[in-house]
A and B are shown apart, each in its own frame.
Chain A
């Protein structure tokens, strides 16, 4: 079919594409709601995460506090035990078991006063000399001990690091 160019060509009444304002509003609303939801979810997530962390810490703290309280009670008990173990009554009982007894301050018969420096009387000369000799021997032994310790210390200083 030929086309008559004198005729006004048929142009359909096509409306240009436009967005319905109502539809546009719904998209915006959806977007806002979506963003709101995301933010709310984020806030809730953050809150839940924080609350759960706090609750965990609170539980840990509570457990530590309970443990601390038990330890405090244990310290109390140990202090009381140490006091009881060091009591005069117990010391006296232990000493009695070992064959000792408490000497009264006025008990002169079982009392020996040792004066220093030792000054033996004529009657005690033998004893005094013995004590004096014994003291000299002790001094010599102590001197030897220190000498030996010093030698060992020097030997250790001179030794190889690996030894």
Chain B
């Protein structure tokens, strides 16, 4: 009887111990990240625009390691425009290219190089189990302040 009680106690201990294994959280986070296909989030916005006349609809093409991978969402320059992607853990070169709406021709056009943000690139270290947020905060003279945050 005592032997049976000890067996169930040990079994309960083993089961409860498994459910609290320290790696479990990490594994689920990685799964979440893979599910949403994101471990790099590029955010671009201009935080100095106050005149609506200067606030064009725009987006940014995003190049990862010199290959075009997509574009940000579309929004006013003053709004945050986001691009998300899942990358292998490594150091990556992220380059952005600004396009604005030419309302006369009903199309988006790439802005001249002199009007592109400076700098328009950043090297980032994508780490396992983390979401890296790369912020390009651009001012009126097209200078970009770059910041990087990691989120678990």
Is the A/B pair a real complex? no
Which residues of B pack against A, CB within 8 Å? none
